[in-house]
Structure formats: C-alpha cells, structure tokens
C-alpha cells in the first residue's frame, strides 16, 4: 500500500492481533448470552469454530504483510452475530443484543479500515473517530444492560411457562389417571350393579318360594287340624244316620202291624226328627270347617268384610292344636278362650287374619311343646289361652302361653324376615314376618310381644274397629 502503516511480519501491530481476538470473546459472550447451544445447536457448532477464521486472518495478514485482513474480521464477526439473531428472531433480547453490538463492531471495522487505507484522513479526524467509537461503546454498554434485563425477564417468563407446562403436564397426567380410575371404578360399579340386580332377582325368587313354602306349611298344619277336627262331626253324622235308618225300619214294621201303636210311632218320629236335626248340625259344622280351609288356602282378594273374630279364634285355635297333634301324637295341652261377646263384627280381610291367628296359635303350641320336652317344672301343664277384648273401639286379641319364652335379644329380631329360632327344616322365618306385615300394613294395627324366658310369651294383636 506504500504508506507508513505497513508493517513487517516480525514487527506486526500487536494491538490489531489482540483486537481481532476480542471478536472471539464477543462471539463467546453472544453464544452464552443467547444459549445457542440449546436453541440452535447446529449453528452453535459453527460459531465454536470461529477461532479458525481468526487464525486464518492472522496467518493471511502475516503472509501478505498487511493488517487489512484483520480489519475485516470485525465485519465477519458482525455478520455471524447478525445471522445468529436472525435464526432466533423471535427472541427480543437477541434483537436488542444485535442493536447493542452492531454499531460498535461496525464502527470499529470502518475506523480501522479508514486508518489503514486513508491514514492522513484518519489522523485529521482522529477526535471524530474516537468520539464515534466512544459513543458506540456507551451504546453497547447501555443496550447490553437492556438486553440483559430482557433476557432475565424472558428467562423468568420461560421458567413460568415451563412451570405452567409442567403443571399442565401433571394436571393432564392426573386427569388421565383420574379418568382411568373413574372408568375402572365405573366398570366395577356397573359389574357390582349387575351382580346385585342378579342377586336381587334370585332373592325375590327365593323369597317368593319361601313365602309359598310358608303358606304351604301353614296349609299343611291347617289340613292336619281339619282332618282331625272334621272327623268328629262326620262320626256324629254317620252314627245318627245309622240310628235314623233303624228308627225308620222300626216305624215301617209298626205300620204294617194289624194293631199299630200310635204312641210308639210318634216317639219314633220324634227321635227321627232329633237325629236329623243333629245330622244337620254336625253337617253344618263339617261344612264350616271345610269353608275355613278353603278361605285360608284361597289367595287374598284384599277386600275387607265384617267378620266375627271370636269365631275365627275358636276355629283356628282347635285347628292349630290338632295340626300339631297330627305330627306328635304324644303331645297334649290345655287350651281355653276368653272371648268378649260385645266385640261384634270387625271389618278385616278374613283370609289374612286367619293366617295370622293360625301362625300365632301354632307358635304358642310349639313353645309349650318344647318346654314340655325340655322337662318343665314339676306339675307343668302346657297351656294356651286366647282372649279378645274391645278397647277404645279397637279389637284386641291376646295369645298367651306358658312355654319356653323369648330372650330380649331375640325379641328385637322376631318380626324380621327369615329370622327363626326353630331348628333347620322346621321353620322358614317368615311366619311372624308375614303376620306383622298383615297386621301393621294390611290392617293399620299393631302386633306386640311380651315374654320372659322360662315363663312364657304373650302376643297382642290390635285391630282398628
């Protein structure tokens, strides 16, 4: 170039070499500041090799014995930084950093080129170039502070976003976990619901069978009692029929005699009439027993009708006793009634109340039978007493026995379905439950029990008049 700025290789301006290596520090600071390793890893590897450019320009300057290539390194560094910012142009702190570095690096390169190419001009305007470089330096410092603040703010925002993203991820994971648990629980509940529905269907079927079994057991006891009870009137009918036939034969014989005894004929006719009256009475008795059995076995219509409770009590007390006697011929018991004649007719469902009475009477006889088998006290006589009263326009039926009695803890469960104190095969546990339902829900009455273990029990039925 033919001016004093030219240097020999062995006397190269050490300041220019040092200045060129400042660009390496700037490039390193830019990489660190903008975190190019994570943001743009491929380009970061190129920036890492910028030292090769520096060394190449130093070697070139040494080879041609000129500082000019070292001036251009600032422009190369500025171009590399500009491209870096363009790659992450959405980052505000990167743009601010470019605004901070560009004037300083540009003026550094231009001023050094002018000093090298136009040394006289540079020397004449040395103050101007120093002012510009000083301004660029202050500009660099000021905008670097701004960029640093923006970076911190951006880091905070990124951290908040990362935290929010992590929270969303956790929430999403929890949501998926909850959805899975809900789906699993829903499937489990659905399965349990189906199992319960199936169990309910089976339970209803079993309950229907047990209720039918209880009715059939009750009907069996009734039938056994009726078979024994109906035998008496049938015996009377047969006996008086035979006697009546004999009386008719005597009357016919008397009528064919030449000398008829009118007084004997009148006496025979009187006896015959009395026999027929007794046959009619006992036939009616047998008919009423059969009618009671049919009413008991017939499905309840739910229709109330005026009914003589006293007659029902007498009828079913005998039937219950003879029903138990049909199973155990050795069993004997005393039973009596104390019936209020002023009770009159009570509006009720006869079939249902007959089932209640038969159940209560059967249980009473069963209790005294068990106490007798257990070896009751000396002189013990199994006894069942049934009484009726009219109290405050309500019909009160009391069934008392001197049987085994009921413990307090059992009394609390005695009206529960399927609860029984009888051995397996002797009871369904539905008799008292059905009786309680019929009295309380079917007739709006009450069914209560009083009992002491070893002394007996008393069942009290109250029916509205």
Span 49-90, pLDDT tens digits: 878 877 787 777 777 766 666 667 777 777 777 787 787 777
Residue 38 has pLDDT above 60, yes or no: yes
What was the pLDDT predicted at 357? 92
**Phi, psi dihedrals of residue 384, rounded to the nearest 5°:** -130, 130
What was the pLDDT predicted at 445? 93
What was the pLDDT predicted at 382? 93
Cα(282)–Cα(280) distance, integer angstroms: 6
Chain segment 282-337, per-residue pLDDT in tens: 777 677 666 655 554 555 556 888 999 998 899 889 888 887 887 788 888 999 99
Name, in order, each residue with C-beta under 8 angstroms of 338's C-beta and a sequence gap of 6 or more.
385, 386, 387, 388
Residue 124 has pLDDT above 90, yes or no: no
Q: How confident is the model at residue 6 (pLDDT cuts 50, 70, 90)?
A: very low
Which region among 97-111, 264-278, 343-357 has the lowest average model confidence (pLDDT)? 97-111
Q: Does an H or E element contain 384, and which? A: strand 383-391
What was the pLDDT predicted at 12? 41
Residue 206 has pLDDT above 60, yes or no: yes
pTM of the complete model:
0.46
Chain segment 351-391, per-residue pLDDT in tens: 888 889 988 998 999 999 989 888 777 888 999 999 999 99
Residue 350 has pLDDT above 80, yes or no: yes
Q: Give the length of the chain.
A: 465
Q: Nearest 5 degrees, angle CA 146-CA 152-CA 155?
A: 140
The domain limits of the chain are 9-169, 230-298, 304-465
Residue 154 has pLDDT above 80, yes or no: no
Q: Which CATH number fits domain 304-465: 3.40.630.20, 3.30.565.10, 3.20.20.10, 3.40.190.10?
A: 3.30.565.10
What was the pLDDT predicted at 400? 95
- Asked if residue 4 lies in contact with residue 67, where contact means CB atoms within 8 angstroms, the answer is no
Residue 343 has pLDDT above 60, yes or no: yes
Q: What percent of the chain has pLDDT over 90?
A: 13
Chain segment 222-249, per-residue pLDDT in tens: 565 566 566 667 777 777 787 788 878 8
What was the pLDDT predicted at 2? 36
Tell me how far CA of residue 127 lies from CA of 108, 111, 121, 137, 138, in angstroms.
Answer: 14, 12, 11, 15, 16
What was the pLDDT predicted at 59? 78
Tell me how far CA of residue 263 lies from CA of 10, 245, 255, 273, in angstroms.
Answer: 186, 19, 12, 15
**What is the average pLDDT across 102-128?**
70
424 or 80, higher pLDDT: 80
What was the pLDDT predicted at 457? 93
Contacts for 238-243 with beta carbons within 8 Å, 24 or more apart?
Answer: 240/275, 240/276, 240/278, 240/279, 240/282, 241/275, 241/279, 243/271, 243/275
**What is the average pLDDT across 252-268?**
78
């Amino acid at each position: 170039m033919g001016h004093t700025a030219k240097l020999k290789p062995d006397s190269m301006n050490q300041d220019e070499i040092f200045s060129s290596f400042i660009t390496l520090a700037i490039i390193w600071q830019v990489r660190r500041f903008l975190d190019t390793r994570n943001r743009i890893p491929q380009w970061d590897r190129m920036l890492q090799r910028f030292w090769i450019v520096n060394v190449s320009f130093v070697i070139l300057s040494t080879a041609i014995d000129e500082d000019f290539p070292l001036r251009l390194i600032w422009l190369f560094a500025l171009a590399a930084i500009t491209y870096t910012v363009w790659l992450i142009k959405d980052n505000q702190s990167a743009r601010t950093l470019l605004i901070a570095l560009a004037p300083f690096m540009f003026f550094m390169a231009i001023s050094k080129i002018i000093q090298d190419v136009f040394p006289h001009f540079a020397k004449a305007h040395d103050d101007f170039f120093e002012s510009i470089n000083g301004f660029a330096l202050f500009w660099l410092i000021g905008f670097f502070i701004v960029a640093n603040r923006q970076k911190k703010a951006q880091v905070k925002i990124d951290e908040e976003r990362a935290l929010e993203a992590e929270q969303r991820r956790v929430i999403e994971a929890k949501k998926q976990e909850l959805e899975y648990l809900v789906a699993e629980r829903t499937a489990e509940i659905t399965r349990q619901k189906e199992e319960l529905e199936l169990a309910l269907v089976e339970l209803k079927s079993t309950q229907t069978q047990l209720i039918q079994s209880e009715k059939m057991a009750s009907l069996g006891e009734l039938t056994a009692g009726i078979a024994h009870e109906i035998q008496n009137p049938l015996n009377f009918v047969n006996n008086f029929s035979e006697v009546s036939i004999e009386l008719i034969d005597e009357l016919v014989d008397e009528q064919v005699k030449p000398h008829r005894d009118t007084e004997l004929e009148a006496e025979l006719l009187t006896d015959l009439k009395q026999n027929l009256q007794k046959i009619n009475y006992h036939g009616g008795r047998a008919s009423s027993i059969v009618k009671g059995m049919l009413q008991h076995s017939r499905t309840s219509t739910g229709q109330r009708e005026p009914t003589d409770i006293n007659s029902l009590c007498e009828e079913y007390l005998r039937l219950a006793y003879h029903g138990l006697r049909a199973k155990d011929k050795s069993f004997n018991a005393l039973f009596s009634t104390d019936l209020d004649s002023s009770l009159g007719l009570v509006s009720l469902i006869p079939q249902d109340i007959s089932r209640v009475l038969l159940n209560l009477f059967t249980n009473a006889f069963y209790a005294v039978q068990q106490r007798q088998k257990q070896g009751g006290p000396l002189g013990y006589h199994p006894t069942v007493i049934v009484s009726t009263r009219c109290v405050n326009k309500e019909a009160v039926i009391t069934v008392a026995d001197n049987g085994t009695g009921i413990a307090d803890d059992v009394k609390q469960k005695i009206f529960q379905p399927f609860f029984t104190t009888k051995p397996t095969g002797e009871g369904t546990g539905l008799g008292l439950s059905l009786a309680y339902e019929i009295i309380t829900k079917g007739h709006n009455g009450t069914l209560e029990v009083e009992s002491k273990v070893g002394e007996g029990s008393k069942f009290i039925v109250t029916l509205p008049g």
